[in-house]
Amino acid sequence: MNLFHEAERVILQPNQRQPALNTPLGSLAFSLTVSGQTYLPSHYGALQQGGSFYHYESDTFDCELVLCRPALDARLSLALQECWGAVFRIKSHAPTTIRGCGFSAFWQEGFSWSESGSDTGEHLEAVVYENPEYRLHLGTQDGHMLMIRKHRGDRIPQSLNLESDFEQHGLITSSEQGIEVPMTEIEPHETCQIHFVAAWTRNMEEDNSTWLAVDQLAANILHTEGLL
């Protein structure tokens, strides 16, 4: 099953390694957990503009991950050293319901950042990591934005029910380890999409380019590779 339109042209080969992004501050890995079990992709394919496509094989669901550079404003792009997005999509096999799953972006051992802290904004859950030389922001959409997407019918399951500000702010876990987004039940007719963005540049005062860069819609991330 192709969860991303136009991804059927990607040539796949066997792969069971953790998807990861190498940065000047260390390696950021991207992980999928379904019903308490962590899955590795079964196949990998190279995308035309330098991105990567991962397919997760299971008897009960299909999941795909696209890792690529977002389409950025020219001025913002010049201020950054690099910016990458990771977009997960998952859909269960009928008649199975996915009882719970989680998506995460986390640091692997050997990172070189020395300070970190929360740096959220409107509709954005983000963490900043830095050392004297580099600064990196890691971000995803917050609980409020996920509820907006649910009501729009934009690939968020109807079971997600965050009525209060407290529930919306408490859904996502962000820390020095990274960011984790848990998700509630996904019915067979539903597709769930969660994304992360990482952006880094030289560490300079009064430069918010990395924070601005991680506040992205999934369509902007996928645009460079021509995926929908």
Neighbours of 28 (CB within 10 A): 24
Domain count, the chain: 1
Q: Does residue 135 belong to any structural domain of this protein?
A: yes
What is the model's pLDDT at position 77? Answer: 92
What is the model's pLDDT at position 41? Answer: 97
Query: What would the mean pLDDT of 145-158 be, rounded to a whole number?
Result: 98
d(CA 58, CA 39): 9
Q: CB of 181 within 8 A of CB of 106? A: no
Q: Does residue 128 belong to any structural domain of this protein?
A: yes
Q: Does residue 228 belong to any structural domain of this protein?
A: no
What is the model's pLDDT at position 1? Answer: 67
What residue has token string 């019915």?
187
Q: Does residue 174 belong to any structural domain of this protein?
A: yes
pLDDT digits (tens, 9 = 90+) for 75-117: 999 999 999 999 999 999 999 999 999 999 999 999 999 999 9
Query: What would the mean pLDDT of 8-30 be, rounded to a whole number?
Result: 95
Whole-model pTM: value is 0.97
Q: CB of 209 within 8 A of CB of 56? A: no
State how far the alpha carbon of 88 is from the alpha carbons of 135, 150, 196, 197, in Å: 25, 16, 9, 12
What is the model's pLDDT at position 8? Answer: 83
Query: Angle at Cα 211 formed by Cα 210 and Cα 216, nearest 5°?
Result: 95
Instruction: State the burial class of residue 109 (Cβ atoms within 10 Å of its Cβ: 0-12, 13-18, 19+).
Output: exposed
What is the model's pLDDT at position 156? Answer: 98
The whole-chain average pLDDT of the chain stands at 96
* CATH number of the structural domain spanning residue 33: 2.70.98
Q: Which domain holds residue 90?
A: 7-223
